[in-house]
C-alpha cells in the first residue's frame, strides 16, 4: 500500500520546527506568491533566493518558508497582499499536447499553449490544470490559481458532470449503450451510471461524473465501441465556447452557478 504524500508546506513547517494550531492551513511562500498573481512559482523561487522577499521584517531565502494568515510579506520593500480570489480559465485544448509541465516527446504542453494566449495581467499567476485530457483528446480544459478548486472539481463527491463526444468504431445502438447507463465494471471497479446517447452513425455522447484514468475510452471499449477520437464539450453547466487554442476567464457568477463553487473567505 502506498503511503500518503506529505504536503510540501507541512514538510517545511516540520523542518523549521514551526508549530501551528489545529485546523490552521499554512502555505509556502512560492505558492502563495503565485496564487495571488505576483509572480509564477519559478520566478518567485529566484526572487526569494536573491533576498528580495521578506516576512515580518526578516529577509527569507527559503522558497518553502511557511506563510500564515497575517504574515507581512514584502517584495523589494513593497508590501504584498496574498489574499486571492479563485480565478478559473476555460481553455480549448488542441490535439497533440499533454496536460503536463513537460513533454518528453516534444509535442508541447497545455501550459505552453496557455501561456501564449493569456490576457494581460493573468500571466503572473501560477495556473493548475483541473484534471487531465489525453494528448489527442481535445476540448474543454479548466485552469485555476486555487488548488481548493481543483479538489472541488475533480473529486467524485462533487458529482460534477463531464460531457464528451466520442467518434467510435462499431454500431451505436441502445443495446450497446444500455450497460453504460446502468454502470459497468472496469478493472478498477464499478462505474457510476452514465448518460449515453447516440448522436449519429459512429458518434456517442457520454456524460460521466467521475474522472478515472482513460475512463471514457475504457467504458466505450468495454461495450465494443473503441474510440477513434474524443472531445470534451462541457464540464458542469459550462459549455465550451471558445475556438481551439483560445482561452477566456470565467466570471465569478459562472464559477458559482455553472461549476458549483463557493468562494471561501
| Residue 201, domain CATH | 3.30.70.1560
- What is the reported pLDDT for 163? 98
Of 225 and 156, more confident: 225
What's the mean pLDDT in 200-226? 95
What radius of gyration do the chain's Cα atoms show? 21
Domain that holds residue 69: 8-80
121 CB-near residues (< 8 Å, 6+ apart): 37
Cell triple for 38? 505576483
> In this structure, are 27 and 119 located in the same domain?
no
With H, G, I as helix, E, B as strand and everything else as coil, classify residue 78.
strand
130 in the same domain as 23: no
What's the rounded Cα separation, in Å, for the pair 32 and 22? 20
pTM of the model: 0.85
Q: What is the pLDDT of residue 2?
A: 45
| 254 within a domain of the structure (yes/no) | yes
Q: Chain-wide mean pLDDT for the chain?
A: 90
> What single-letter DSSP state applies at residue 262?
-
Question: Is the confidence at residue 10, as pLDDT, over 80?
Answer: no
Share of the chain above pLDDT 70, in %: 90
Pairing label, strands 128-130, 138-144: antiparallel
Q: Answer yes or no: do 152 and 165 share one domain.
A: no
Return the biggest CA–CA distance within the chain: 69
pLDDT > 60? residue 162: yes
Catalytic residue, candidates 71, 103, 134, 188:
134
Q: Is 146 a catalytic residue?
A: no
Amino acid at each position: 500500500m502506498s503511503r500518503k504524500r506529505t504536503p510540501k508546506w507541512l514538510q517545511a513547517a516540520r523542518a523549521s520546527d514551526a508549530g501551528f494550531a489545529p485546523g490552521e492551513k499554512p502555505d509556502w511562500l512560492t505558492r502563495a506568491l503565485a496564487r495571488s498573481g505576483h509572480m509564477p512559482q519559478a520566478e518567485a523561487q529566484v526572487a526569494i533566493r536573491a533576498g528580495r522577499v521578506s516576512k515580518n521584517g526578516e529577509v527569507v531565502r527559503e522558497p518553502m518558508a511557511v506563510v500564515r494568515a497575517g504574515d507581512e510579506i514584502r517584495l523589494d520593500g513593497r508590501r504584498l497582499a496574498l489574499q486571492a480570489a479563485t480565478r478559473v480559465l476555460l481553455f480549448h485544448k488542441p490535439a497533440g499536447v499533454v496536460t503536463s509541465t513537460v513533454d518528453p516527446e516534444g509535442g508541447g504542453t497545455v501550459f505552453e499553449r496557455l501561456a501564449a494566449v493569456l490576457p494581460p495581467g493573468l500571466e503572473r499567476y501560477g495556473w493548475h490544470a483541473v484534471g487531465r485530457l489525453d494528448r489527442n483528446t481535445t476540448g474543454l480544459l479548466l485552469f485555476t490559481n486555487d488548488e481548493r478548486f481543483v479538489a472541488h472539481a475533480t473529486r467524485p463527491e462533487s458529482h460534477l458532470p463531464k460531457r464528451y463526444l466520442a467518434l467510435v468504431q462499431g454500431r451505436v445502438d441502445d443495446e450497446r449503450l444500455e450497460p453504460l447507463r446502468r454502470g459497468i465494471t472496469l478493472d478498477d471497479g464499478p462505474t457510476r451510471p452514465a448518460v449515453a446517447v447516440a448522436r449519429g452513425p459512429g458518434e456517442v455522447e457520454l456524460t460521466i461524473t467521475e474522472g478515472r484514468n482513460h475512463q471514457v475510452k475504457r467504458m466505450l471499449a468495454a461495450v465494443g465501441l473503441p474510440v477513434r477520437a474524443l472531445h470534451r464539450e462541457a464540464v458542469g453547466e459550462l459549455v465550451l465556447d471558445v475556438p481551439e487554442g483560445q482561452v477566456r476567464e470565467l466570471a465569478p457568477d459562472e464559477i458559482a452557478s455553472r461549476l458549483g463553487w463557493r468562494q471561501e473567505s
